[in-house]
Amino acid sequence: MKKLIALTAAVLLMSNFIKAGGPEDSLKLFQEQLRIMDSIEGSLHYKTGKIILGNGIATINVPEGFKFLESAEAKYVVGEIWGNPITEAPLGALFPASSGATDPGGYAFIIKFEDIGYVKDKDADKINYDDLLKSMKEESARENAERMRVGGFTMNLLNWAATPYYDKEKKILHWAKEFSVSGQEDHTLNYDIRILGRKGVLNLQAVSGMEELDSVKAHINDVLSMVAFTEGNRYSDFDSKTDKVAAWTIGGLVAGKILAKVGFWAVIAKFLKFIIAGIVIAGGAIWRFISGRKKKQEEFVYQPQQAPDNNDQATPPAAQ
């Protein structure tokens, strides 16, 4: 596919530059990576406004200041660009307007629906989250074994970045976890939101580096105001005579064991694999720059290039 050809070409270019050595070759490598990033971003179709999610079970109303990728392109980003093993397409991905899929900084909310039935919330006040964290660390170790089996990177759960909180009135659960990722100095943040509905749960997971935690927290209420179940699918629409009750309660949602049942991993990394493959090797100075760390403007001056024609762009797959 075109996207794989583009990424393969990038790796070959990196290898040639690295073998040659020297500052000029490193700068060429840096500029080539930015060109590829521009090409990929230019191929994506970000949207705003009111968008129907899935088969109409929910909607998202994306205002100015944010942008949205629909299902097929969201799967492409999470799997092909970030390198996560993924089989099922999410409902979409929500980004701040100032960020993008190939931006090592910033964050994105990956949106899914878990068709597990009506989740009873009577256990919400009885959960010991310290004990739950211990069991989740054990589950993380087992998941890492599977990641390694399929050739992926490993992610180790370290701690709560935000302790789980459940709003009984709004039927919304949210929490955050801190992970270390194999081969990476910086830690990864997964900030999770669960919105309870009649037939299951909307899952919004913010993926970023830990340095974005304050920014994600600052926009949580904005995000929650965008997403809603449609009429007939809300938590209050539950009919005990006809509707399925979920096998999991609030504690099970936090533990994340449900996701494996529907083809998702419990944790996702924003791990730009086509950049990691070469720039880390090429030199720490370049990687620090592209990661958004402070550098003097005169050290590198990047002039955005005109996007290549459609034959050269990394084109996302068609919806399946």
> DSSP states of 49-112 as a string?
EEEEETTTTEEEEE-TTEEEEEHHHHHHIIIIIS-----SPPSEEEEETT--TT-SSSEEEEEE
3-state secondary structure (DSSP) of residue 246: coil
Residue 23: what pLDDT? 59
- Beta-bridge partner residues of 165: 174
In the block, tokens 């949106």 appear at: 111
* Residues 179/155, Cβ–Cβ less than 8 Å: yes
Domain ranges (residues) in the chain: 1-44+272-320, 49-100+105-262
* Residues 198/243, Cβ–Cβ less than 8 Å: yes
Q: Which residues of the chain have pLDDT under 50?
A: 1-15, 17-18, 259-265, 271-320
Residue 56: what pLDDT? 95
Task: List % helix, strand, coil for the chain (3-state, nearest 5).
Answer: 40, 25, 40
The pair of three-digit structure tokens given for residue 21, joined into one six-digit string: 């050595």
CA distance 111 to 116: 16
CA distance 288 to 290: 6
Residue 33: what pLDDT? 74
CA distance 121 to 228: 19
Contacts of residue 170, Cβ cutoff 8 Å, sequence gap at least 6: 224
The pair of three-digit structure tokens given for residue 282, joined into one six-digit string: 């090429």
The separation between CA 250 and the C-alpha centre of its own chain, rounded to angstroms, equals 22
Residue 93: what pLDDT? 95
Give the CATH number of domain 49-100+105-262.
3.40.1000
CA distance 278 to 195: 39
CA distance 265 to 139: 12
Residue 207: what pLDDT? 79
* Total-model pTM: 0.72
Q: Which residues of 121-137 are buried (b: 16+ CB within 10 A; e: fewer)?
A: beebeebeeeebbeebe
